[in-house]
């Protein structure tokens, strides 16, 4: 029996840029493979629809919704639309996050504000509006995507990103303690270096000559920094999400799973 049969999962950021494979898209696909019906939410409807097409081609069930998770009215409407189409929500996967380069002295106020605005609201707003439904049912699972960058400096100045990802860990622990009496669990996944469109995009943005980027050489350099010897894939993150959403994790709440090939063990 599929582990998530009969469950409904709302996954935010369930599309991926340029038809690639991102953490949210892979998570939506893996949750569906385990039997969950998926509500794939993304800022870009065609990206969410593409994820749903992959799920349906694989025999799964999915609907696509367009919303900006930083706008409360849109999040409220999306949750209502998901409930009216699918009748229930059992799993909320808060995957949306943005990345901007910058250290303590050179980060702009605009970039700082954007990081705080998107990365913090991306966990706060969907959770706020799904929780009343979870409380009514006395069950539910929230999984927030943080990052190992939320734990420590990883060699590149991403101070605003890292601070917001660190605060997602704190938010998740607080949330878990608050909602546990209602039978609701909340955990965070901390991915390491994962090959996604967002990760490639920031490499391009930081490069003086994007056309000259040797992606294979870059992968080899990155892999050399990783104890398990390879860059992660969105499927590595998705598999952790499946576990946290499943009843196998029924006694796990308020904690973090790092999915980083061991990077955070090495100082
Ligand atoms: N890629 C990595 O190496 C890595 C490492 C650690 C953590 N993460 C985290 O994983 C998450 C997903 O990253 P990814 O690399 O798969 O990203 P991605 O950019 O490939 O995909 C994210 C999706 O979110 C959507 N989105 C962006 N802003 C939105 C908004 N306001 N409302 C609704 N949808 C929105 C985008 O349209 C996109 O389809 C992020 O939270 C990121 O911080 C990624």
Q: For 123-149, how does the pLDDT look when each residue is reduced to its tens digit (9 = 90+)?
A: 999 999 999 999 999 999 999 999 999
Does 161 contact ligand 1 (Cβ within 6 A)?
no
Does 13 contact ligand 1 (Cβ within 6 A)?
yes
Average pLDDT value for the chain: 96
**H-state helical runs in the chain:** 23-33, 45-57, 72-86, 109-115, 121-137, 159-179, 197-206, 215-224, 234-245
pLDDT in tens, 176-191: 999 999 999 999 999 9
pLDDT band at 267 (very low <50, low <70, confident <90, very high): low
pLDDT at 266 over 90: no
pLDDT in tens, 223-235: 999 999 999 999 9
For the chain, give the percent of residues with pLDDT over 90.
91
2 CA → ligand 1 middle, Å: 27
pLDDT at 17 over 90: no
Does 147 contact ligand 1 (Cβ within 6 A)?
yes
* Catalytic residue ranges: 161
For residue 24, the ligand 1 atom closest to its alpha carbon is 16
For residue 16, the ligand 1 atom closest to its alpha carbon is 39
For residue 26, the ligand 1 atom closest to its alpha carbon is 16
pLDDT band at 66 (very low <50, low <70, confident <90, very high): very high
Query: Which secondary structure element, helix H or strand E, spans residue 218, and what is its range?
Result: helix 215-224
Regarding predicted confidence, which is higher, 50 or 201? 50
- Predicted pLDDT at 192: 97
Could you tell me the CA-to-CA distances from 160 to 44, 68, 112, 114, 150 in Å, in that order? 25, 21, 6, 9, 10
The structural domains of the chain, ordered by start, are 8-200+233-259 (3.40.50.720)
- Predicted pLDDT at 3: 95
- Predicted pLDDT at 156: 92
- Enter the tokens of residue 201: 């995009």
Ligand 1 pocket: which of 10, 13, 231 to mutate (most atoms within 8 A of CB): 13
Q: Answer whether 27's CB lies under 8 Å from 95's CB.
A: yes
Does 196 contact ligand 1 (Cβ within 6 A)?
yes
80 CA → ligand 1 middle, Å: 23
pLDDT band at 202 (very low <50, low <70, confident <90, very high): confident
Q: Answer whether 227's CB lies under 8 Å from 265's CB.
A: yes
pLDDT band at 206 (very low <50, low <70, confident <90, very high): confident
Q: Answer whether 188's CB lies under 8 Å from 169's CB.
A: yes
Q: Write down the pTM of the prediction.
A: 0.97
**Cross-strand bridge partners of residue 62:** 38
pLDDT in tens, 102-114: 999 999 999 999 9
253 CA → ligand 1 middle, Å: 23
Task: Give the residue, by CA position, lying nearest to ligand 1 atom 42.
Answer: 97
Which are the contacts of 54, defined by CB distance < 8 A and separation ≥ 6? Answer: 25, 29
């Amino acid at each position: 029996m599929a582990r998530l049969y009969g469950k409904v999962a709302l996954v935010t950021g369930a599309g991926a840029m340029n038809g690639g494979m991102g953490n949210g898209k892979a998570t939506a696909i893996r949750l569906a493979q385990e039997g969950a019906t998926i509500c794939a939410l993304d800022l870009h409807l065609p990206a969410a629809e593409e994820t749903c097409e992959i799920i349906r081609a694989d025999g799964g069930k999915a609907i696509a919704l367009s919303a900006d998770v930083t706008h409360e009215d849109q999040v409220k409407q999306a949750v209502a639309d998901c409930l009216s189409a699918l009748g229930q929500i059992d799993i909320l996967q808060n995957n949306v996050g943005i990345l901007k380069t910058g250290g303590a002295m050179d980060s702009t106020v605009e970039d700082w504000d954007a990081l705080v605005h998107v990365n913090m609201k991306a966990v706060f707003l969907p959770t706020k509006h799904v929780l009343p439904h979870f409380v009514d049912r006395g069950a539910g699972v929230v999984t927030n995507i943080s990052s190992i960058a939320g734990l420590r400096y990883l060699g590149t100045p991403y101070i605003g990103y890292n601070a917001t990802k660190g605060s997602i860990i704190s938010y998740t622990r607080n949330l878990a303690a608050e909602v546990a009496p209602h039978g609701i669990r909340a955990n965070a996944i901390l991915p390491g270096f994962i090959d996604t469109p967002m990760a490639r995009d920031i490499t391009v943005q930081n490069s003086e000559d994007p056309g000259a980027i040797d992606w294979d050489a870059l992968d080899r350099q990155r892999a050399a920094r990783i104890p398990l010897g390879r860059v992660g894939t969105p499927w590595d993150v998705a598999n952790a999400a499946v576990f946290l959403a499943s009843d196998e994790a029924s006694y796990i709440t308020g904690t973090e799973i790092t999915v980083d090939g061991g990077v955070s063990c090495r100082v």
